[in-house]
Amino acid sequence: MKLSKHITMNSISPTLPISVPQNTKEAYPISVLENVKQKLETRVTHPAIIIPSPLTAKLRNVLKGLLMNKPKLRDIYPLEAGDAMPGIDPKTERKIVLSDKVENIFANPLVKTILDDRENPSVRKSSYDVILGYGHLTVDEVLSKVLPKELSEIPSSFEVVGHLAHMNLRQEYYPFKKIIGRVVLDKNKGIQVCVNKTGTIQNEFRTFPMETLADDRKLKTRNDSLGLLVEVKEDGCRFQLDFEKVYWNSRLQFEHRRIVHYITGKERPTNLKKRCKDNKEEKEKLPEKIIVADACAGIGPFAVPLTSQYENVEVHANDLNPVSYDYLQKNAKLNKCANLKTYNMDGRYFLRKLDEENIHYDHVLMNLPAIAPEFLDVFRGWKVDRKKRPMIHVHCFGSKIKGDIEVVERCSVSLGCKLDWSKDAVSVHEVRNVSPKKNMYCVSFRLPDGVKHVDPIIKFGDIVAKDDANDDCDGAIEPATKKPRLS
């Protein structure tokens, strides 16, 4: 994209929109936003009607859908100089400010009825000048006025994690990143810190580099850490995490719920044991025990709800990241999880350990989208004697076109035997849109009998994700949340 109107950081002037700096690797300081705030003020004349004060509450309710309704502005005001009618005390009247979005609002039936009311002949047309400034504008409205016209999109989309806003700005927005972060914080109550992803997921722990754009927290870290400790709530569970050091994606909330419901066969939590301690009939109704092996558990988005809300579920949850493991234990305690055992090791050795200890799991979760299918080689030569083959749930990335076939084939290659869509109950669920060319999928299937005839792998090597396998590749925010520039 060709950018023009270059200026240097030393030639800052309070003009709108802000120009693209000559050095696009430098970011404008927050002071630039303060300098242009006054330039954002506009005067807008709204239609209004003057009414007797005793009718204020009644007419305000009648005209509810036709009022000005601007944030941080009232709809009712005392009369201004020049509004008074001879013989009437101006203190006994009020001005109701109406919307400027309704064409010929005085001809509206509701407004016209009030103006023609013979019992209140003093009711009359008027107007009111409203000065709209920075405090009254939304994030989109501010950024559409502040950012250069060369930038075709308004980067106002972000993920909320507790009191944190996580943005994913492209390179062309770099000079304006601090301004964007400041606006996001100013316009969103409850958000105290705004961070920006500066690179793709490049390590085995699924964390990515990030930087702080704006920070309103009273207590800030004094070391190299960004100190991004947050607490989030999801489907009745509380999760504590350090957003810089563990993986968390709020967009996966519905996928977490879907898998939990799939495993339990229920859409509502059922802690039957709590209500049937002394009731033999109720005890007999307890469902059969379900054992889940969560090989890439993270901080527990699957394991915690399964063991805190379902009495008949036992989960063995593992994560290689020691920080995630610590928060998994904390969240288990925080949510009073029963039947949850935690591990901190490689996912494939974790599954081998369960087999060696004769733990017969019913479901295996592999939520590591970049490389999860490659973990399936752990089942090569699997000869555990069980009546029922376990269900395997693998999250992975695939192309938008024929992605379902692609991800199933990828699983088959790693297993060393072909998956049969019918015999192995194969299903592919499209989880979310990741980038213009890539989706995230979940492949579910029963472990095929064919793995018993494949030579087992004695020692596992490292699995390296492909360059295009990173979550949210190319630094792009999901297309569904992008917003066009306001005209």
Torsion angle in degrees (nearest 10) through CA of 213, 218, 223, 229: -80
Contact 441, 431 (CB under 8 A): yes
Per-residue pLDDT of the chain (487 residues; tens, 9 = 90+): 444 344 444 444 557 788 887 777 888 888 888 888 888 888 999 999 999 999 999 999 999 999 998 888 899 999 988 899 998 999 999 999 999 999 999 999 999 999 999 889 999 999 999 988 888 888 998 998 888 888 878 887 888 888 888 888 888 889 999 999 999 999 888 898 998 888 665 556 666 678 888 898 876 555 556 678 889 999 899 999 988 889 888 889 999 999 999 999 876 555 544 444 455 555 556 678 999 999 999 999 999 999 999 999 999 999 999 999 999 999 999 999 989 999 999 999 999 999 999 999 999 999 988 889 999 999 999 887 777 899 999 999 999 999 999 999 999 999 999 999 999 999 999 999 988 899 999 999 999 999 999 999 887 765 555 544 444 443 333 333 334 333 3
Number of Cβ within 10 Å of residue 70's Cβ equals: 17
Q: What is the per-residue pLDDT for 481? A: 35
Phi and psi torsions of 33, nearest 5°: -65, -40
Q: What is the per-residue pLDDT for 450? A: 93
Q: What is the per-residue pLDDT for 99? A: 94
CA 161/CA 27 separation, integer angstroms: 25
Q: Among all chains, which residue has been given the structure tokens 């005085």?
A: 106
This prediction's pTM: 0.75
What are 41's two structure tokens?
């003020």
Amino acid at 354: L
CA 370/CA 345 separation, integer angstroms: 18
CA 397/CA 75 separation, integer angstroms: 51
Q: What is the per-residue pLDDT for 279? A: 53
Q: What is the per-residue pLDDT for 421? A: 95
With a CB cutoff of 8 Å and minimum separation 6, the contacts of 469 are 369, 370, 371, 397
Contact 454, 400 (CB under 8 A): no
Number of Cβ within 10 Å of residue 165's Cβ equals: 22
CA 251/CA 433 separation, integer angstroms: 10
168: left (phi over 0), alpha (psi -120 to 50) or beta: beta
Contact 483, 153 (CB under 8 A): yes
What are 197's two structure tokens?
């992803």
Phi and psi torsions of 16, nearest 5°: -120, 140
- Burial of 316 by CB count in 10 Å (0-12 exposed, 13-18 middle, 19+ buried)? buried
Q: What is the per-residue pLDDT for 280? A: 54
Torsion angle in degrees (nearest 10) through CA of 325, 326, 331, 333: 120
Q: Mind spelling out the 3-state secondary structure of the chain? A: CCCCCCECHHHCCCCCCCCCECCCCCCCCHHHHHHHHHHHCEEEEEEEEEEEHHHHHHHHHHCHHHECCCCCCCCEECCCCCCCCCCCCHHHEEEEEECCCCCCHHHCHHHHHHHCCCCCCCCEEEEEEEEECHHHCCHHHHHHHHCCCCCCEECCCCEEECCEEEECCCHHHHHHHHHHHHHHHHCCCCCCEEEEECCCCCCCCCCCCEEEEEECCCCCCCCCCCCCEEEEEECCEEEEEECCCCCCCHHHHHHHHHHHHHHHCCCCCECHHHHCCCCHHHHCCCCCCEEEEECCCCCCCCHHHHHHHECCEEEEEECCCHHHHHHHHHHHHHCCCCCEEEECCCHHHHHHHHHHCCCCCCEEEEECCCCHHHHHHHHCCCCCCCCCCCEEEEEEEEECCCHHHHHHHHHHHHHCCCCCCCCCCCEEEEEEEEECCEEEEEEEEECCHHHHHCCCCCCCCCCCCCHHHCCCHHHCCCHHHCEECCC
Q: How many CA atoms lie within 13 A of 463 on its CB side?
A: 21
Torsion angle in degrees (nearest 10) through CA of 400, 404, 410, 415: 160
